[in-house]
Structures are given as C-alpha cells and as structure tokens.
Amino acid sequence: MRRRVLMGAAVAALLAGTFATTAAHADTPAAQPAADALTLPAPSGHQPVGRTTLHLRDEGRPDPWVPTEKRELMLSLWYPAAAPSGTPAPYMTSGESERYAESTGLGLPKDLFTKVAAHATVDARPARVRGGLPLVILSPGFGMPRAILTGLAEELASRGYAVAGIGHNYEADGITFPDGHTTSCVACRVEDRDRVLEKVAAVRADDISFVIDELTGKRAARDRGVALDPDRIAVVGHSAGGFSTVPAMLKDPRVKAGVNMDGNFRFPDHETPVNRPLLMLGNPGHVPGGQDGTWDATWKQFTGWKRWLSVDDTQHLSFTDLAPLAKQLGGGPVQRLDGDRVDTITRGYVAAFVDTHLRGRNAPLLDGPSAGFPEVRFHRP
C-alpha cells in the first residue's frame, strides 16, 4: 500500500533490526520486547512539566482531506509546572498506539506505545511566571502521531517554554478525540506523493496559524492558566513538519523562527526570501551536494540568521523519540549513533536555537563545531 511507502517503511527502517528476533520467534514469550520498561530520557531542565490536551475545531474551514467535516485538531500542551499533579501523562491512547503500531507493518504489539513512560503529569498547576511564556509549536512527520516528539517537548517545557504538539487530523495514524474515536491517515492513501506532500505543507501552515490564534486568544491555553507571549513563537518540525516550517513562516509573521529536522523542502515558492532565523538539522544525506538537493536549492532563500547542521551516523527517524526507545527494545541502537546520544544532541541544539531567538540568550553551541559534540557538522555552502 502507498501509505506503507510514505511512512510505514520509514518506521520499519528504524525498528527492523530491533524486532528481527521477535519476528523470527513470535511464538515464544521471550521474543516479545520488554515494553514495560520503555522510558523516555528525563528532561534536563529545572522545572516539573505539566501537560494538558486540547480539542480545537476550526468552524470556518472544511477539512482538506475529508471536506464533509470541519477541520479539527488535537493538541498536547506541555508547560513548566509549579509541582507534579501525581497523574502521569500517557504517551499515547490505546487507539493511537494500535493505529500507529499497525501502520508500521511490523506486527508490533498494539499496546506497545501505551507502555512508554514519559515525565509530564496531567493538568499540573502551571508555574507562576512574569509575563507570558515563549511558545514552541511542534509538527510531527507525515503519518506520525504528535506523541513521537514528546521527549523534545518535555525538555523544552522543563526549561521554561510552553510547547504545543499538533495532531494534524487525517495526516497521522492515529489521533484520538474526546469522544473516544481515533482517526487514521487518510492523506497517506493518496497516490500522488509529490502532490499530497505539497498540500500537506499548505495545510499545516493553516493549522499552525489557527493554533496560534487559539492559544493566544481568550480561550484554550489561558483557560488552563498557561499565559503565552504572542511575540515569541517558533515552529519546530520533523520531516513533513520540518518542511512545513517555511510555509508557516511565509504565511504568518507571528512565527519568529523555525527548525526543520530532516525534512525535504516541499513548497511552491522557492524565490520568496525568508528573513527570519532558521535551523536545518539532518542526517548525513542532508549535506551540501548530498542525496537531498532541496536543501541546497532552498538555502539561498534564507536571508536572515541560518545554520545548516548534520549529525553523523543518524537517519531520518533519529530525531524523534524512536531513537532512544528502539535502544530499549532489546536490539540495541539501530542507527550507528547511540539512540540516547542523538536524543541529547537533538534536544541540545533545538534548545540552543530557541534560547537564542526567543529569549535573546547567547548560545555558543550554534557558533560552530563543538568538542563536546563532534558528531555535529556545520555546513556553509
């Protein structure tokens, strides 16, 4: 099926080595992964993390994938908390875990992703802050649930950011809504890959603007006690979420900075300058003259602050929670670089970027190669 090509195969590339033994001996209990032990790396910031879930409905926009419905999104909002609430925030619902596990085509246990332990607690009382919090919006890869960027979200929230992870409806397997129904990736079934991904970029730009409207308006985040600063907003995305950062920045001037984590650039206007900060962070295929020529072609469009970084011995899904989780599933790290190490790199460089451009802090990590992170290469074509 086409949807397997678009994203199921990508997940398989990361986890295939881990589950090879399981598949070969599926009739023996010992072959099952130790899912009860799956834990995301702890955030390094000083503040506890709260998480709330929001259901947003755009009454003025038909859903682009199912036009008979209005556009609806599920949103996870992480934030610095005064103290933990005592109720651990689940990683995925049972419906999301089942849909996502099935989409990989690997025969994974349907409850696998319900057993991942994260570090946020549900509806914890927000920490008191002077002024509003800077906001980082996270957009996941095509076909992937928003939970897949939880580790990065918790990291940033522990450092004093509000972080909104968008569940782009019908672009993921799966998204569970308050009434209990879970949607699948309708867009993944479209045969014309180039056309659908260009459409995804435009849809996500609209989604991001709508989320900003809702979070900085009178409802949503404010109703939960999380005060936001509308003048300090960044968008960070992986894969399709990464290439959607530029359309979002072109559409909405409230987006002050963007990060593309390993996404090919796909949008119709390659000539319009983008004069706001942008970080490109990718695997070794994303180097000047490398496998993905869209990074070379798009680099000149960025006329403001910009950095182009690659990380040795990584691959496409290394910039998500799957890197550290795969290591725990009994097969060791799948990419050559240790899963916890690449997770540390991703968190560190994204945090340095938003610290620089949303808080005005000096982040030497972005000035050039670091002896502490020799895997990270700076490119200046």
| Nearest in space to 101 (alpha carbons), one of 89, 111, 87 | 111
Q: What pLDDT, in 10s, does the model give residues 138-157?
A: 999 999 999 999 999 999 99
Q: What is the pLDDT of residue 24?
A: 30
Q: What pLDDT, in 10s, does the model give residues 213-264?
A: 999 986 555 566 789 999 999 999 999 999 999 999 999 999 999 999 999 9
Strands 70-80 and 49-62, how do they pair?
antiparallel
Residues 245, 291, 14, 327: is their CA dihedral positive or negative?
negative
Q: What is the pLDDT of residue 233?
A: 98
Peptide bond into 174 cis (omega under 30): yes
Q: What is the pLDDT of residue 34?
A: 47
Q: What is the pLDDT of residue 19?
A: 40
Q: What is the pLDDT of residue 330?
A: 66
Distances, alpha carbon 25 to alpha carbons 14, 21, 130, in Å? 20, 6, 56
Q: What is the pLDDT of residue 194?
A: 82
Q: Average model confidence (pLDDT) for the chain? A: 88
Q: What pLDDT, in 10s, does the model give residues 320-354?
A: 999 999 888 865 456 889 999 999 999 999 999 99
Q: What is the pLDDT of residue 271?
A: 75
Q: Can you tell me the mean pLDDT for 102-122? A: 94
pLDDT beyond 90 at 20: no
| Nearest in space to 284 (alpha carbons), one of 257, 258, 259, 319 | 319
pLDDT beyond 50 at 22: no
Q: What pLDDT, in 10s, does the model give residues 33-46?
A: 444 679 999 999 99
Q: Can you tell me the mean pLDDT for 287-305? A: 92
77-111 burial code (b ≥16 CB/10 A, e <16): bbbbbeebbeeebbbbbebbbbbbbbbbebebeee
